[in-house]
Amino acid sequence: MAGLAALFLITFVIRTYYIPSISMIPTLTVHDVLLVDEVAYRFGSPHTGDVAVFMPPIPSEGNAFVKRVIGVPGDTLRIDDGIVYRNGIALAEPYENQQPKYDLEIKNYEIYVDGEPLDPKTADVPAKRFWQAPNRIPDGFYFMLGDNRNYSDDSHVWGFAQAKKITGRAFLIIWPFGRVRVLR
């Protein structure tokens, strides 16, 4: 019976993910293995600060991404002189490895990085009709950043993550044993 319960959990509720890159340093390092709750977002929405697993909006050979949720639908967001501002308030980001070396702003139904809009052919920036306001994250979309900001392909490169592509919330590092800890 315990074996069936474990099989059910591993198949439908909890998955493991291996970290292959430096994009989430210092929170996650190369070779970390995570437990991910795949039910968390079926009954609720991602929250700012969550470490989420999702399919990226750009083709990436089918590999899931792991990034931090920085902005949720309805938020304003900008990065100015290395500081991230959500809804006009500078974020305290103890998990950040280094401040971003780019400026960013969501305005006029676009995401601007260093004054240039992301190309909708290579980034997920929905058409104007899907936005509720020209400077707020649209419903059904999230803004994701790696903690290692200058070494992360994230929303500053490929636009928003769609809610329907967010598959789970990472909650525990289980390997290597010296790094076992709960994520937040």
Please tell me the predicted confidence (pLDDT) of residue 95.
95
Catalytic residue among 67, 101, 107, 164: 67
- For residues 1 and 16, the model is more confident at 16
Question: pLDDT grade, residue 8 (50/70/90)?
Answer: very low
Does the residue 10 lie in any domain? no
Q: Tell me what the pLDDT averaged over the chain comes to.
A: 91
Instruction: Give how many domains the chain has, as a whole number.
Output: 1
| pLDDT tens-place string over residues 132-141 | 999 999 999 9
CATH number of the domain that 23 lies in? 2.10.109.10
Does the residue 150 lie in any domain? yes
Does the residue 9 lie in any domain? no
pTM value is 0.91
Does the residue 169 lie in any domain? yes
Does the residue 2 lie in any domain? no
The residues pairing with 166 across neighbouring beta strands, listed in sequence order, are: 54
Does the residue 6 lie in any domain? no
Residue 145's Cβ-count burial label (10 Å; 0-12, 13-18, 19+) is buried
| pLDDT tens-place string over residues 107-166 | 999 999 999 999 988 899 999 999 999 999 999 999 999 999 999 999 999 999 999 999
Does the residue 122 lie in any domain? yes
Catalytic residue among 23, 60, 128, 165: 23
**Catalytic residue at 23?**
yes
- Do 41 and 166 touch, CB atoms closer than 8 A? yes
Nearest to 171 by CA among 55, 67, 50, 69: 50
Please tell me the predicted confidence (pLDDT) of residue 63.
83
Does the residue 178 lie in any domain? yes
Full domain range(s) for residue 93: 15-182
